[in-house]
Every structure is written in structure tokens, then in C-alpha cells.
């Protein structure tokens, strides 16, 4: 092998090895050979020899000399000449690693798709304008919002504006985003739209197709094949793709000259990365907005406490419709009490309770030739059972799991355990001794069955679980769907498409979850369904099975989204929970938690809560021997609001020390997790 000669200019390269090891999450100096000098530019992938083995790394910087006094090794080779890790992405990853107490290589793993050599042969020189004609967008829909026109003008002038946009009932949010995004792209700046799932991607992509060609609006998500995903990433990198639509990984897309970033429904947990360091797409985009001076739009029918904090602090502003606009667009809203829409609550008697107002709303919609949406909080038949006498949850005698009726067999159905699957033929309540059962929550299948009895000769459509229906026709039908699986109404003609009425069942099942965000999530689900219903002027009505007078129900009935978000944030401040404070959840064995806390130099005024047993529905990553190390524990670290990275930096340093000591016990660090437990 010929001897390598150092490059004549800036022969030293500083690289970041992609090792996924906390204490090695730093830069190392190598030499670059003259023959690799032209390709070895900041941001490219390289191969280096590290600790006796070849590993991938990213070239961060070129220098004339190194601070290292020893002999520098040469990099093995430049893998690709494309700078896939540009400076703005490097700055973003550094900030998020400090924010979440994680390692940069873990973030880079889902920020940059794996290389595919064939994709690098694609045409990446055609400009955005050459890919197709761009239609003139219609921005009139923004006029319905207070300061909507001012916001649009400010963004199009190249200024930085940040807003929390509460979508008015019945408004086509995707069409409004597409119109504004197209206008920004026409001005030469980039647009990035991040949504929770593929169905939302399809809606946004379809909206953009009215103005731009298929190649001008690039879709990025993890479901694409390796070649397609990497090729599209490169097209974004070189500036060919100016409009990017995708799920959570797309939040890192290196859009050139980013002018507008959009995130839809930021309370959806699909926007949180499932692996360490558990980055939230909202945090990615807020960081990018600050670093790249890009406008930001947080869009939703509801509003999270985190978004309300951004508005309350003045970092973002409200973008809401006037009250008069809301009143004209809202359907008629009514609450009929918790039992007004409860089907066959007592399994022994088979009685059915159906409020007269709800019946009339459904019948009127069907008579007008419109579909009716019925939102059921659970899939299946009867997913939760309780004693009919004392209402104690029915439990399996073998494993203490919850009893349910998974399938429809009328009164002959035998309850079974949702955990171990054993049949319970001789149920006896552990509290009162009764052998009678009642349904706590009806599943979508049982709901569809009961509605079929009440409205015979009406088509029933069930959507949820592994059978999600995307669209239904503008025709009489009862559409029973679980939250998030509500089909869109489509009409082949030019007339509007909507549900004539909606029934929202099991409000208590959504509100009574042991979760900090139960109310926030419930309101989001109800609003998402209600906005698909015709306005009251066209006979549209929404009926919810809950008592009026409860603050969250009153907020829903009055479509007071901002008011509820303010109330929710105030409640979090009172009990000192996120986002009113910074909080980290640390999960691991007792010994691992003790060592971690001993090594951590926590910020001043940090408060440690726990440890307590890890919630039953959670498990530690990797292999964990409970018999050897004891039950997994969770402790919480709470600090007052301040610099976002202060707590994360302390946790990152402590984890690095732990890694250097080769402590291999599983430990999970989550900063401001979406669910605390």
C-alpha cells in the first residue's frame, strides 16, 4: 500500500464517530490524505479506524494543525462526497443533545437516512422551478382569523413570525397551509410541514398538488425504501426540493433557507421519537425557528399546554378566529349526561339508553342523506367489565388481568382475560360477591351492533384497530370509529362534504385515565371529530355523553380552545409539572439510579422525587434481570424554568461519566417526557 501524503492545505480533520457511546460523543482529530482532500469537506461521511476497528464518522471541520501532540492517524476513506451533515443540522443536533441529555449519534441516526449509492446517481441538478409550473395560490382563507392577513404578509416579506393557529370548525387546514407554503416557495425560501402520521401526510400532499407538481413537494418518512428516502434527502440537501412534507423524522430535513416550518397536532405522541433521547418534533422545529430565523406555525384544532406556554411567554402569538366566525361555523353542541348514550350497560338486562336529542340529531342527518359519525373510545366488543352491583373492575382469578368480551356472541358471550386469555365462566366479585357483570365501556363493535338495532336498514361502517377506513361517501350511513380513525367524507360532485351529526361516546373513559394529559388528549379527540360536522346553519349537531358544567366539557361546547389551554397551563403551574417546570424521568435499577445521582451535578434548585416503582405498562430498554437487580425504579428530577439545556447538559455529563465507568445496567433518561406516569 502506497504511503499516504498529508493534504497540502488544512491536513487535519475533526470528526465525530457515530458510536452511540456517551463518553465518546466528542470530536477526534485525524489526518486527511492529499488524494482525499477535494472530497473531504465538512459534513461528508468518512470511514475511520477507531480502537482497532473501522467505524463511520462525520467530518465536522478542517484545520491547519491539531492540539493533539501525538501522531495523527489518516482517515480510511471518504464514503460519499455529499455533505449530508451541513452546519445548520450540526448546530441543531448539538442543541438537541444538550436539551435532552442524549448523544449526538443517536439523534443523527434518525435525522440522516442511511446512504444508498444508487440514489446518488439521480438527477439532482434540475431546479425547483424547472420541475413544473407553480399555480397562483388562494390565500383568502386566512382572512377569517384575527391578524391572519398580517401574519401571512409578514411571512411573505421574509420576516420571522411564530404563531399558534387554532383551526376554526370545518376549516380545511391543509389547504390553507398549502396555499401559504406554495407562496413562500415561490419567493425562493424553503417550507417544511411535519404531521403525526401517514394519513395526514396524504392530506397535506394532496393539498399541495393543486399548486405544484409531484416532484416539487417532496415527502419524507421512514416507511419509504432506503433508496427513495436517501434520494429525496439529497434533493432537499442540494435545494432541489423546496417543499418538504413528512412525519417526525422530516423535522430534521436540511431545507435550504427555511422560511416556514409547520407542525400539526403537536400533542400527538407519534411526534415523539421512540428511542433515546426521545426527541419531540415540536422541540426540533422551535429550535430550528430560533437558529435559522424561520417562521413557525403550530397548527391544531386543540392546543397543548406547551404551545400555550410559548404564547404566554410572548415567543409566539395567537392566531384564532373571531367569536362571530366560530359561531357561524360551529355545529350545534349539546351534552346529554354520562348515560345519555350508553348502550346495554347492564349485560344481564340488555337495556339500552339513547337520549331523545341524540336520536333526533342522527335521524335528521340520515333523512337529509348525510352520514353520521359515532366516536367510540375503545375498539372491540366490550373491552372493560365491572361488577353490576358495586362497580368494581372485573379481574381474572389467575393473573388479575382485566376481564372483557372481545367478540359478539349476544348474551351467551363468556368473559375472558385481556392478559392471559383464560375464560371466566364463574365470575364472582372480590368485593361484594355478586356474579353479575356490567359494561364499563362499550367497544366499537358492540356500539355498531346496538346502533343497528336502533336504526335498522341503515348502513353501518366500522373504522379502527387494524381496519381503518380512509373515506366514506356523502350518503346516509352510521360510521363508528375510534379516535384518530374517523374517515373523511368525500363527494364526487362539487357540493360540500361533511357529517350531518356526530355522537361522542364514553367521555368518562377518556377523561378518567391516570394521565397528566388525559383532559388535553380528550379535548383534542373531540374537537377533531366535531370539526368534520356541518355547521348548525346546515343542521349539523354534535352530542357528547357527559355532564355540562364540567370545565373541559364547557370549553368543548363553547369551542373555547384557548381558554382551556390557559386553564390547563395554570393547573400545571400549581402542581409544578411540565411545561411549567423542566422535568426528567430516570428509569433503572436502584443501584444504577444511586450511582447516576452521585455523579450528576444537577442545576441549583433541582428537586428529586422518588424513586418509585416503574409503572406496570413500562419496561426498561435492553435486557434486565429483575431477580438479580430488583424491580425497575423511576425517579423524577424537577427544576424551575430557565435555559432549556441546563438540566439536559447535567444529565448528559452524568451519563457520560457512567458510560466511561462501563456501567452496563439499563438506564433510560427522558427530559420533559410526554407521559410521566
Of 530, 528, 559, nearest in space to 544 by CA: 530
> What integer is the mean pLDDT of 477-501?
85
User: Do residues 339 and 217 make contact, with C-beta atoms less than 8 angstroms apart?
Assistant: no
* 649 pLDDT more than 80: yes
For 470, half-sphere exposure in the C-beta direction (CA atoms, 13 angstrom radius) is 7
Report the pLDDT averaged over residues 150-171: 95
Provide the pLDDT for residue 498: 92
Q: How far apart are CA 131 and CA 216, in angstroms?
A: 6
393 — pLDDT class (breaks 50, 70, 90): confident
Among 123-132, 341-350, 368-377, whose mean pLDDT is lowest? 341-350
Average pLDDT, the chain: 90
Residue 346 confidence class, pLDDT cut points 50, 70, 90: very low
Mean pLDDT calculated for residue range 136-145: 94
What is the average per-residue pLDDT within 652-667? 88
In this prediction, residue 435 carries a pLDDT of 85
Angle of the 561-575 helix axis to the 305-312 helix axis, nearest 10: 90
Model confidence, pTM = 0.90
Higher pLDDT, 389 or 161: 161
Would you place residue 262 in the very low, low, confident or very high pLDDT band (cuts 50, 70, 90)?
A: very high
**Cβ atoms of residues 213 and 132 within 8 Å:** yes
Residue 492 has pLDDT above 60, yes or no: no
H or E element in which residue 585 lies: strand 581-588
Give the SS3 label for residue 321: strand
Question: What is the per-residue pLDDT for 599?
Answer: 87
Q: Which pLDDT belongs to residue 522?
A: 94
Q: Which residue has the higher pLDDT, 466 or 669?
A: 669
Lowest mean pLDDT across 52-66, 223-237, 338-352, 498-512: 338-352
Provide the pLDDT confidence category of residue 352 given band limits of 50, 70 and 90.
low
Kindly state the percentage of the chain with pLDDT values over 90. 66
Span of 57-66, 265-274, 389-398 with lowest mean pLDDT: 389-398
When pLDDT is averaged across residues 6-12 and rounded to a whole number, the result is: 93
Q: How many Cα neighbours within 13 Å face the side chain of 122?
A: 21
- Rounded average pLDDT over 314-332: 94
For residue 154, is pLDDT > 60?
yes
**In the predicted model, what is the mean pLDDT of residues 444-467?**
85
Predicted confidence band of residue 412 (pLDDT cuts 50, 70, 90): very low
CA angle 481, 485, 486 (to 5 degrees): 65
CB 632 within 8 A of CB 621: no
Q: What mean pLDDT do residues 181-191 have? A: 96
345 has pLDDT over 50: no
pLDDT tier at 450, thresholds 50, 70, 90: confident
The pLDDT value recorded for residue 394 is: 84
Q: Output the pLDDT for position 437.
A: 80
| Cell numbers linked to 436 | 353479575
**pLDDT of 642:** 86
Amino acid at each position: 500500500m502506497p504511503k499516504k501524503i498529508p493534504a497540502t492545505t488544512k491536513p487535519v480533520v475533526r470528526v465525530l464517530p457515530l458510536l452511540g457511546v456517551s463518553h465518546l460523543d466528542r470530536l477526534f482529530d485525524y489526518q486527511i490524505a492529499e488524494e482525499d482532500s477535494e472530497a473531504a469537506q465538512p459534513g461528508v461521511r468518512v470511514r475511520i479506524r477507531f480502537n482497532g476497528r473501522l467505524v463511520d464518522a462525520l467530518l465536522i471541520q478542517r484545520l491547519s494543525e491539531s492540539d493533539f501532540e501525538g501522531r495523527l492517524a489518516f482517515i480510511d476513506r471518504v464514503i460519499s462526497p455529499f455533505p449530508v451533515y451541513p452546519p445548520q443540522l450540526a448546530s441543531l443536533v448539538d442543541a438537541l443533545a444538550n436539551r435532552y441529555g442524549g448523544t449526538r449519534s443517536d439523534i443523527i441516526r434518525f435525522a440522516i437516512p442511511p446512504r444508498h449509492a444508487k440514489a446518488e446517481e439521480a438527477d439532482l441538478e434540475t431546479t425547483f422551478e424547472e420541475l413544473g409550473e407553480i399555480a397562483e395560490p388562494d390565500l383568502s382563507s386566512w382572512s377569517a382569523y384575527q391578524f391572519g392577513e398580517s401574519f401571512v404578509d409578514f411571512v411573505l416579506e421574509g420576516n420571522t413570525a411564530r404563531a399558534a393557529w387554532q383551526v376554526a370548525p370545518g376549516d380545511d387546514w391543509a389547504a390553507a397551509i398549502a396555499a401559504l407554503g406554495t407562496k413562500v416557495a415561490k419567493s425562493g425560501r424553503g417550507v417544511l410541514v411535519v404531521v403525526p402520521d401517514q394519513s395526514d401526510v396524504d392530506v397535506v400532499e394532496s393539498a399541495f398538488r393543486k399548486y405544484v407538481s409531484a416532484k416539487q413537494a417532496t415527502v419524507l418518512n421512514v416507511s419509504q425504501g432506503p433508496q427513495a428516502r436517501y434520494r429525496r434527502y439529497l434533493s432537499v440537501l442540494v435545494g432541489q426540493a423546496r417543499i418538504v412534507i413528512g412525519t417526525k423524522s422530516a423535522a430534521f430535513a436540511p431545507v435550504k433557507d427555511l422560511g416556514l416550518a409547520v407542525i400539526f397536532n403537536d400533542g400527538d405522541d407519534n411526534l415523539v421519537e421512540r428511542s433515546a433521547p426521545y426527541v419531540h418534533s415540536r422541540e426540533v422545529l422551535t429550535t430550528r425557528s430560533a437558529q435559522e430565523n424561520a417562521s413557525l406555525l403550530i397548527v391544531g384544532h386543540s392546543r397543548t399546554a406547551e404551545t400555550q406556554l410559548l404564547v404566554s411567554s410572548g415567543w409566539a402569538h395567537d392566531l384564532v378566529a373571531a367569536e362571530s366566525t366560530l359561531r357561524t361555523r360551529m355545529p350545534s353542541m349539546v351534552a346529554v349526561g354520562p348515560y345519555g348514550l350508553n348502550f346495554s350497560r347492564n349485560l344481564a338486562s340488555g337495556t339500552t339508553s339513547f337520549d331523545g336529542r341524540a336520536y333526533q340529531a342522527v335521524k335528521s342527518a340520515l333523512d337529509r342523506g348525510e352520514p353520521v359519525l359515532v366516536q367510540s373510545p375503545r375498539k372491540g366488543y366490550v373491552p372493560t367489565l365491572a361488577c353490576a352491583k358495586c362497580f368494581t373492575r372485573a379481574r381474572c382469578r389467575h393473573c388479575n388481568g382485566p376481564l372483557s368480551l372481545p367478540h359478539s356472541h349476544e348474551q351467551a358471550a363468556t368473559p375472558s382475560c385481556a392478559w392471559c386469555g383464560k375464560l371466566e365462566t364463574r365470575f364472582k366479585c372480590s368485593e361484594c360477591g355478586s356474579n353479575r357483570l356490567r359494561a364499563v365501556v362499550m367497544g366499537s363493535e358492540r356500539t355498531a351492533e346496538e346502533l343497528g338495532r336502533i336504526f335498522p336498514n341503515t348502513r353501518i361502517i366500522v373504522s379502527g384497530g387494524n381496519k381503518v377506513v380512509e373515506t366514506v361517501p356523502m350518503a346516509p350511513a352510521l360510521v363508528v370509529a375510534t379516535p384518530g380513525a374517523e374517515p373523511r367524507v368525500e363527494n364526487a360532485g362539487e357540493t360540500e362534504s361533511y357529517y350531518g351529526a356526530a355522537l361522542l361516546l364514553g367521555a368518562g373513559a377518556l377523561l378518567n385515565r391516570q394521565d397528566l394529559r388525559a383532559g388535553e388528549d380528550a379535548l383534542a379527540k373531540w374537537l377533531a371529530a366535531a370539526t368534520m360536522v356541518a355547521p348548525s346553519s346546515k343542521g349539523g349537531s354534535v352530542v357528547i355523553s357527559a355532564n355540562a358544567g364540567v370545565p373541559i366539557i364547557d370549553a368543548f361546547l363553547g369551542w373555547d380552545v384557548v381558554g382551556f389551554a390557559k386553564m390547563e397551563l395554570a393547573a400545571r403551574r400549581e402542581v409544578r409539572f411540565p411545561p411549567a417546570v423542566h422535568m426528567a424521568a430516570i428509569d433503572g435499577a436502584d443501584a444504577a439510579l444511586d450511582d447516576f445521582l452521585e455523579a450528576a451535578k444537577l442545576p441549583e434548585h433541582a428537586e428529586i422525587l422518588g424513586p418509585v416503582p416503574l409503572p406496570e405498562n413500562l419496561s426498561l430498554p435492553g435486557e434486565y434481570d429483575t431477580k438479580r437487580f430488583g424491580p425497575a425504579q423511576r425517579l423524577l428530577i424537577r427544576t424551575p424554568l430557565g435555559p432549556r439545556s441546563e438540566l439536559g447538559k447535567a444529565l448528559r455529563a452524568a451519563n457520560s461519566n457512567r458510560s466511561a465507568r462501563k456501567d452496563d445496567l439499563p438506564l433510560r433518561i427522558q427530559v420533559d417526557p410526554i407521559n410521566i406516569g
